Amino acid sequence: MREGVVIYVGDYIHESARIGRGTKIAAGHDIGRDVEIGENCLIECHVSISNGWKIGNNVFIGPGVHFANDPYPPSKVLLPGVVEDNCVICMGANVGPGVTIGEGAVVGMGANIRHHVESESVVVGDGYEIYKRDEFEWRKLEYESSGTV
């Protein structure tokens, strides 16, 4: 682990996992063998990251997200995936084996992702795109400035 890494109680993190500088990991995690997590990530509580997954830099992972690596469980051949830089994975999302979530993508709350997500896409449900990241950021700014926060 690198400088500035914060890990809270109740986490299982395999000794082979690599965690980048400035990453914060809340409580109640299962982070498997050979997982790589980049720098300046924020991983909320009760996240499961199966063996071999690669998480980029500046990634937000909401509570209760699961990353699978086995397309035919239980199998002897695992298929981890990749979350590229600057992604947002919202609460309760499930990400299937071998999936790549492209740079800057947003995965909506409770989504079930079984195929690759294009960079800068905002996907919900079973992975259908509703708009691009720039519209997500515009909607977020509008919401935050509306005074309802």
Question: What pTM was computed for the model?
Answer: 0.91
Containing structural domain, residue 102:
6-145
Q: What is the CATH number of the domain that holds 71?
A: 2.160.10.10
pLDDT of residue 29: 86
Q: What's residue 6's pLDDT? A: 66
- According to DSSP, the residues that pair with 30 across neighbouring strands are 12, 48
1 inside domain: no
- Model confidence over 20-72: pLDDT tens digits? 999 998 888 899 999 999 999 999 999 999 999 999 999 999 999 999 999 99
Number of folded domains that form the chain: 1
Is 135 within the bounds of a domain?
yes
Q: Residue 69 domain-assigned?
A: yes
pLDDT beyond 70 at 3: no
- The per-residue pLDDT for range 83-95, each reduced to its tens digit, is 999 999 999 999 9
Structure confidence at residue 106 (pLDDT): 98
Alpha-carbon torsion, ordered 65, 71, 73, 74, to 10 deg: -110
Task: Give domain status of residue 78, yes or no.
Answer: yes
Is 149 a residue whose pLDDT tops 60?
A: no
What does the pLDDT look like over 123-137, one tens digit per residue?
A: 999 999 999 999 999
Instruction: Enter the tokens of residue 17.
Output: 């996992």
Taking residues 88-108, what's their average pLDDT? 98
Whether residue 71 lies inside any domain: the answer is yes
User: Virtual CA dihedral for 140, 146, 148, 149, nearest 10 degrees?
Assistant: 50
